[in-house]
Amino acid sequence: MDTVRQRTVAPAPGFHAPVDIAVLTDRGRAEFARLAHDERLLSWTAQRMNDYVLANAETRPTVALEVRP
C-alpha cells in the first residue's frame, strides 16, 4: 500500500483540507496474494508465531544452566 495526497478543489461549499489516502499498489496486491496463500497452509500458525518467538528470544539474555548428576 502507498499513500497519496487527495486533490481538492478551490475553497467552496464542502471544501476540506487535502488528506492522505491509501492506494493499493501492484506490490501491495502481490503481498496480499502471498499472505492469502500462506494463510491456507497447515504451517500458518507456526509461521505467524516465528516472528514473535525470534524477536522475544533476541531481547532476553541467555542463561547458562549447569546440569548436576
Better-predicted residue by pLDDT, 6 or 61: 6
pLDDT value at residue 69: 60
Residue 51 counted as domain residue: yes
Q: Find out whether 1 and 25 touch, Cβ atoms under 8 Å.
A: yes
Q: Which band of pLDDT confidence, cut at 50, 70 and 90, is reported for residue 57?
A: low
Residue 67 counted as domain residue: no
**CB atoms near residue 53 (< 10 Å):** 10
| Alpha carbons 1 and 27: distance in angstroms, whole number | 8
Q: Find out whether 14 and 29 touch, Cβ atoms under 8 Å.
A: no
Residue 69 counted as domain residue: no
Residue 42 counted as domain residue: yes
Residue 50 counted as domain residue: yes
**Domain coverage including residue 25:** 2-9+16-59
Number of domains in the chain: 1
Residue 22 counted as domain residue: yes
Q: Tell me the three state secondary structure of residue 7.
A: coil
Q: In the chain, what is the greatest distance between 2 CA atoms, to the nearest angstrom? A: 84
Residue 23 counted as domain residue: yes
Residue 65 counted as domain residue: no
